[in-house]
Amino acid sequence: MIDLHSHTAFSDGALIPAELIRRAAVRGITALGITDHGDSSNMDFIIPRMVKIAEELNSILDIKMIPGIELTHVPPELIKAGVDKARSLGAKIVLVHGETIVEPVAPGTNQAAIEAGADVLAHPGFITEEEVLLAKKKGVLIEITARHGHSLTNGHVAKLAKKLDAKMVLNTDTHSPDNLIDSATALKVALGAGLSKDDFIKMQENAAGFIGR
């Protein structure tokens, strides 16, 4: 199981990175993206520390930590600059907090994230066909999520992505230890979204591209 979306005590998660990685390994996760919530106020604090701890842990553990950031509630006009800044600071994966239906995310966030070339558009809510087609063109992965609330639109997201042959990824958006899941549970999330086992395998292959970046 590869999971590209999780949070630590550096934003609103419960654990420090080392403990989260340990608990993920016990669940059978082979690679974990740590992508704390960020904007221009804290990226220069978070990302270098995540890069440092990833270097330390990846040199001795079998599980791989992928240091990144999730740009969260950033105004659409500032997302491109945020993506560029995150990468300049060493982020190996950049997510954008998409237009979930359970938070007041600014309209236009999905479009701006895709145009900016973010790696993953997280929980994109009622994403449009035009946005999915653009994500396909730009190589942006569209997230199917195990996170409560955000997962309410998984069926819609999966249906459009399948219809338009856009690439997807399945993540947990972990904030606390009980949010971590194993591959069997992840498969159930995919099936519940109307996807197949083959689709789940493809999503894991898409995620594997971030290991060793």
- What are the tens digits of pLDDT across the range 95-141? 999 999 999 999 999 999 999 999 999 999 999 999 999 999 999 99
CB 98 within 8 A of CB 81: no
Output the pTM of the full model.
0.97
Could you report the per-residue pLDDT of 130-189, keeping only the tens digit for each? 999 999 999 999 999 999 999 999 999 999 999 999 999 999 999 999 999 999 999 999
Over residues 64-71, mean pLDDT: 98
Q: What is the pLDDT of residue 62?
A: 97
Question: Is residue 13 helix, strand or coil?
Answer: coil
CA neighbours closer than 13 Å in the CB half-sphere of residue 137? 10
**CA dist., res. 19 & res. 6, Å (int):** 12
Neighbours of 136 (CB within 10 A): 16
- Res. 85: pLDDT tops 90: yes
**CA dist., res. 195 & res. 167, Å (int):** 13
Give the contacts of 42 (CB within 8 A, at least 6 positions apart): none
Q: What is the pLDDT of residue 212?
A: 84
What confidence category does residue 213 fall into, taking pLDDT thresholds of 50, 70 and 90?
confident
All structural domains of the chain: 2-208 (3.20.20.140)
CB 160 within 8 A of CB 132: yes
Range list of β-strands (E), the chain:
2-3, 31-34, 37-38, 64-71, 93-97, 120-122, 141-145, 168-171
Token pair of 200 as six digits: 């789940």
Q: Kindly report the average pLDDT of the chain as a whole number.
A: 98
- Res. 83: pLDDT tops 90: yes
Q: Point out which residues pair with 23 in neighbouring strands.
A: none
Q: What is the pLDDT of residue 33?
A: 98
